[in-house]
Chains A and B, each alone.
Chain A
Amino acid sequence: MTDPSYSFLRDEPVIVSAGAAIFDEALHGQAVPLTVVDWAPPRFADSAHIASVTSDPRRHAANQQALDRVLTARSELVDVRPASEALGLKPGQFLHAGPPITWDRASGPMRGALIGAMIFEGLAANAEDAERALAGDNVELDSCHHHDAVGPMAGVISPSMWVFELRDPVHGGTAYCSLNEGLGKVLRYGAYGPEVIDRLTWMSTVLGPALQTAVRAAKTVDCATILAQMLQMGDEGHNRNRAGTLMLLRDLLPHLVASGVPARDLAEVCRFVGGNDHFFLNLVMPTAKLAMDAGRGVPGSSLVVAMARNGTDFGIQCSGTGDQWFTGPANKPEGLFLGQYGPDDANPDIGDSAITETIGVGGFSMATAPAIVRLVGGDVNFALTTSRKMYEITLGEHPMYSIPILEFRGIPCGIDALAVARTGILPQINTGMAGALAGTGQVGAGLVTPPEKCFTDAVAALAAARPSTA
């Protein structure tokens, strides 16, 4: 026989088997080389929808096209500007993390961050004023994702806040993200006390302009290259960004020094950036956003292009279903708590930072960051196993971002909503935990997964969107 397809007739077959173990035993008895699939029926998705999406004739090519765009995207920091200028935000307009939400459904930390932003913008004198205004008709809320932006935790962006502006030189996309405030009592975790407002003011008047001068002098900072390097240095790019932050500072420092910014301000800027291990998170996020946006809008593709939470709902978007959100109630993370805080103090999952897992860093790349497992409450074995498991639900491996301990294998990149539905394996997300009560701030860090419903609904929508065949 010349046709290689029928080689199993010519030579003893090498078999992959899924299903009843009794057949495998018969093959073992004949010493046939055998790989056994750890198969289980879909736990939550409808099998008819799965069948329909799987047999969509466009799927294979569509996923390949969407993935190729994601894998070829690059990311350059090109400017730092006020949100009013970069995003065209007007007073009274606020962007927030996750799928769209209204004030009445907003969680504690989301409310706290919006209150803080009202005070920061000078639109309210105190929390009571702010709440009254936010409950009224004169404030506009919208998702960061609807404006090419992402924001960690509450993700609130107001006109006077400064934002990073990043470009994808390959596909032409633009993405924005706020500047990271550091840890503890900070706006993104829902705190809005005077120290929070003071810090935001300093960030807008000193930090933002200094970074703008430095970035403009540098022309661009290649964030994709920094991300590739930090993954080799023990950062997973979501809860640990220490190496990335210092590499950014290394790139910007000569330009900061030469910028003419007063030495005292310069020292404060360097102390703030260098002392905030999460500073580069706000550049990993838009880097991921640029890549995932490049994968949007391919009909028939089951690639997940966004995972985001607003503190109440968890939402995902897929390449083949446009801007539609598939939402479910956000889960509560499990992990370690700061000080006296405990599980009852934690808010459900919040933030656009799950865009990092959407591209395959963060929880997906936990194997590369053994140091993180203590913070999120796992062990090293767990980190290795988790990353390996994520390859089961991703479409490919990233050629640029790799994990040394997995023999430099590319990170598991591009979640396939169909694979999640088939295997029941949910994406693993590393996250911070905000206090449920507005004004509290961070209470811990841990691990969380999306609600199953997001994927059940996404697969149902993909099934409905597939062209009917004869």
Chain B
Amino acid sequence: MSEHVEIRSGVYRDSVALLQVSKHVAAVAGVEAAIIAMATELNLDLARQMGFTGLDAAEPADLLIAIRCGDDVLETALTEMEGAMASSPSVAASSLEVPAHTVGAALRRADEATLVLLSVPGAHVLPEALDALEAGRSVMIFSDNVPIAHEVLLKELAAQRGLLVMGPDCGTAIVGGVALGFANVVRRGDVGIVAASGTGAQQLACLLDHAGIGISQLIGVGGRDLRAEVAGRSTIQALSALDADPGTTDIIVVSKPAPAEVTHAVRAVAERLSTRVTFCVLGPGQPTMSDTVSSLVQSRHGTSPKWPAVGVREQQPRAGRLSGIYSGGTLADEAMVIASSRLGEVRSNIPLSPGLLIGPNERASTHVVIDYGDDELTRGRPHPMIDPSIRLERIAMDAADPSCAVILLDVVLGHVADPDPAATLAPALRAAGKPVIVSLIGTEADPQHWSRTAEALADAGAEVYLSNAQATARAVDLVAEGTVA
């Protein structure tokens, strides 16, 4: 057995590309362990856990290559790695063209560009985003882990210049008919969405699409926009942009639970607009996302929509606790609001109140909803919507835990999301041996197809719902009353 540890400087690939390289090398026969990743603290820890040593000289900007394999396999493994590295997507360029290395340089060349999309690591967002704003372009920031001071600075500047900062941590937008980031393929229409929540926006758009109502624009503003420090700066910018958009006749603002002073200020702005604005700010006693869409459909068509469900069957409530395993923060919030109103306290890594905090991998004896898409868990690795395998371990753990009565999880479809999440999740669900309820966010036009994915998950034993509120309510129904203190 030989161990190959190499630190390479001057090479950079994003974490998703490197994940593919790692997978490729690990699949070589005779390779026991392989990690090819940027040498961030998190990845170095991961490599140490895998038993690799000699990593101390690595800097975060270095590329770490660590392979443990049979002596005769190393050369093959390294060749495979070089091949996979070379084919991992980078900028195509003729020998004489020098690609732009900064957003500023790219904008000097691409004069006609109207929007900048950033997904560089959070610590490096500010210079690139400032390049965009200083050049008079709005910017969508997918990246999370952006310091909040940077967010405030960017949004202040954008407001001064009449520009829009979508994000940071903005996973979803649909603008000018184009889906950016994690967005579903929905019909075009006249409802504008302003979303301080990526998966919340996706849920709204998919429910509206199912009810036959289309989206004019979906503007993500980042999960922290309605926090006190950021004070809804982008939400306010987005509202005025949509108010001026002739294609928008209704606006929905969706957010995780938010402080009242900020929502009051934003509501005051909304009242001055000529377009009707509906607020869907999640919280106890507030309408769910499904309720919000139902009301809108009711007001337009006079009837309430019925949300699709697949695999629903008679199941007996069980004694034990609810375990929510989410990839979308807002979907997790909504599940917690609904579950806690009926079951009592729900612990979480993103708790509704600070006293309910629990670590993501802590063994729980109470109802738990964990958001695996949280910043803390995505630092240095792909989002669970891109790579669902991060949640498999938790599903197996809950399956084996007799105190867990029901597993509730979300699966989000659309652009950028895993092309076939059912393939990854189905074996784990089949092995669960207890009720599994899936909130499946998507449309028939999505690359993964809602029905096809729903059937595959139902075949594995899950009940599948388009409405996250309905899925949660069903999961709560299957928890026998009074079983958790």
Contact = CB atoms under 8 A, between A and B. Distances in A.
A246 B33 CA distance: 66
B27 interface: no
Contact of A55 (B12, B138, B143, B153): B153
Contact of B386 (A3, A6, A22, A391): A22
Interface residues of A, number: 59
B485 interface: no
Contacts of B137: 16
A455 to B, nearest CB: 14
Interface in A20-59: 20-27, 29-30, 32-33, 35-43, 47-48, 50-51, 54-55
A384 interface: yes
A422 B178 contact: no
B14 A16 contact: no
A203 B25 CA distance: 68
B161 A5 contact: yes
A264 interface: no
B136 interface: yes
A39 B128 contact: yes
- Name the residue in A23, A41, A418 with the highest tally of chain B Cβ atoms < 10 Å from its Cβ: A23
B99 A37 contact: yes
Given A7-B114, A16-B110, A41 B126 contact: no
Given A51-B127, A54-B126, A384 B179 contact: no
A16 B117 contact: yes
B153 A13 contact: no
A389 interface: yes
A5 B124 CA distance: 24
Interface in B4-22: 9-10, 12, 14-17
A432 to B, nearest CB: 27
Contacts of B109: 35
Contacts of A381: 95-96
B123 interface: yes
A24 B89 contact: yes
B91 interface: yes
A263 interface: no
A20 B130 contact: no
A5 B91 contact: no
A385 interface: yes
A104 interface: no
Contact of B90 (A21, A27, A422): A21
B246 interface: yes
Contact of B110 (A12, A14, A19, A422): A14
Interface string B85-118: 0001111010111111111011101101111111
B74 interface: no
B231 to A, nearest CB: 15
B176 A10 contact: yes
Given A35-B109, A54-B126, A23 B161 contact: no
B177 interface: yes
A5 B164 contact: yes
Given A5-B163, A9-B245, A43-B10, A19 B142 contact: yes
B120 interface: yes
Interface in A129-185: none
A425 interface: yes
A18 interface: yes
A32 B140 CA distance: 15
B102 A41 contact: no
B70 interface: no
A90 interface: no
Interface string B176-213: 11111100000000000000000000000000000000
A229 interface: no
A423 B102 contact: yes
A15 B142 CA distance: 14
A392 interface: yes
A18 B14 CA distance: 11
Contact of A22 (B16, B162, B164, B241): B16
A17 to B, nearest CB: 4
B182 to A, nearest CB: 9
A15 B415 CA distance: 17
A77 B142 CA distance: 55
A258 interface: no
B9 A43 contact: yes
Contacts of B262: none
B400 interface: no
A47 B60 CA distance: 11
Contact of A30 (B61, B163, B178): B178
B175 interface: yes
B217 interface: yes
B114 A19 contact: no
Nearest to B185: A30
A30 B414 CA distance: 13
Given A12-B177, A20-B14, A54 B130 contact: yes
B96 A384 contact: yes
Nearest to B110: A35
Nearest to A41: B61
A407 interface: no
A11 B176 contact: yes
A26 B16 contact: no
B73 interface: no
A17 B117 contact: yes
B415 A8 contact: no
Interface of A: 1-3, 5-27, 29-30, 32-33, 35-43, 47-48, 50-51, 54-55, 60, 381, 384-385, 388-389, 391-392, 418-419, 422-425
16 contacts: A6-B138, A9-B245, A12-B178, A16-B113, A17-B118, A18-B120, A20-B15, A26-B181, A27-B180, A37-B99, A37-B105, A38-B99, A40-B101, A41-B60, A55-B130, A423-B102
